[in-house]
Amino acid sequence: MKHWKIGEVARLSGISLRALRHYDEIGLLSPGQRSDAGYRLYTRAELERLSHIKVLRSIGWSLEQIRECLTNADFSPQKLIQIHRANLAQRIAAEQKLLARLESLAARMQEQEISPEEFLQWMEEITMIEKYYSAEQLAELEERKNTVGQARIKEVEAQWPILMDEVRAAIERGDDPKSPASRELARRWQSLVEEFTGGNPGIRESLNNVYENESHVGGMDVEAMRPLFDFISQASS
């Protein structure tokens, strides 16, 4: 039976030695054998499993999700193809929506002059969305938007400025984040976040990454909002 050393596997797969060692440590991909000197030796079966891991990682799955998938009794290469096809279809749908938005912008630019500030803000939002959200997440957000409806979306958008003003006022008064009133503010805040994420922890993590790493989001000064985030975090804990 042919075996591959870890260095060979890293070179063939494009996955770093560090990652391969980590996969072994967490039980995601362990070598089939060890040499007399203790070196990792991979068999064809492990290389096939690694190819499955690469596919699932490429579509944004976490290592824990991949492990659950690969250890499921129902898993098969055919199942992997189905997952990949579904993800590709979602990516195509997301690209088609982006194309529609670009066409809409182009039409607007033909009908009226758009200020440079508006154009740059629009492009910034598009770039940010693609940077932080996977195609699968974007498809889910689009589906949720259709389910919730424009009326409710506008209601939520109207509630955010009011709630943020209330949180600012609480901070200025020196309110205790652990007080019942502060906890109620945090509850309302988390409820509005839930409206957006639909309870999907992956989307919530992507949303948090946006606000942690960007200084402006949708025209808002995120740096000025950080005290609000800190207050809500304390009130929620």
Residue position matching structure tokens 């957006």: 196
Segment holding 5, helix H or strand E: strand 4-5
Q: How confident is the model at residue 115 (pLDDT cuts 50, 70, 90)?
A: low
What is the pLDDT, as a whole number, of residue 130? 67
Residues 121 and 162 in one domain: no
pTM, whole model, 2 decimals?
0.48
pLDDT at 3 over 80: yes
Q: Could you tell me if 98 and 15 lie in one domain?
A: no
Asked whether residue 109 falls in the same domain as residue 170, the answer is no
What is the per-residue pLDDT for 113? 67
Residues 124 and 165 in one domain: no
Closest residue by Cα to residue 217 from 93, 109, 113, 133: 133
Same domain flag for 132 and 153: no
The answer to whether residue 114 scores a pLDDT higher than 70 is: no
Q: In this structure, what CATH number is given to the domain that contains residue 35?
A: 1.10.1660.10
Question: Does residue 163 share a domain with residue 218?
Answer: yes
Look at residues 147, 169, 188 and tell me which one is the last residue of a structural domain.
147
Query: Domain check: are 182 and 154 in the same one?
Result: yes
Q: Could you tell me where the beta strands, DSSP code E, fall in 38-150?
A: 40-42
Q: 55: domain range?
A: 4-71
Tell me, yes or no, whether 30 and 94 share the same domain.
no
pLDDT in tens, 124-143: 566 666 677 776 777 777 77
Tokens representing 7 are: 């260095």
Residue 173 shares a structural domain with residue 119:
no
The model's confidence at residue 211, banded by pLDDT at 50, 70 and 90, is confident
Domain boundary among 71, 106, 123: 71
Q: Are 136 and 114 in a shared domain? A: yes
Instruction: Provide the pLDDT for residue 146.
Output: 77
Long-range pairs of 146-150 with CB within 8 A, sequence gap ≥ 24: 148/195
Q: Give the position of tokens 């209601």.
A: 155
End residue of a domain, out of 39, 71, 103: 71
**Are 184 and 102 found together in one domain?**
no
Q: What is the pLDDT of residues 29-62, one digit of tens each?
A: 999 888 888 888 999 999 999 999 998 888 778 8
Percent of the chain with pLDDT over 90: 28
Q: What is the pLDDT of residues 67-102, one digit of tens each?
A: 888 888 888 888 888 887 887 777 777 677 667 766
Give me the number of domains the chain comprises. Answer: 3
Q: Does 168 lie in the same domain as 139?
A: no
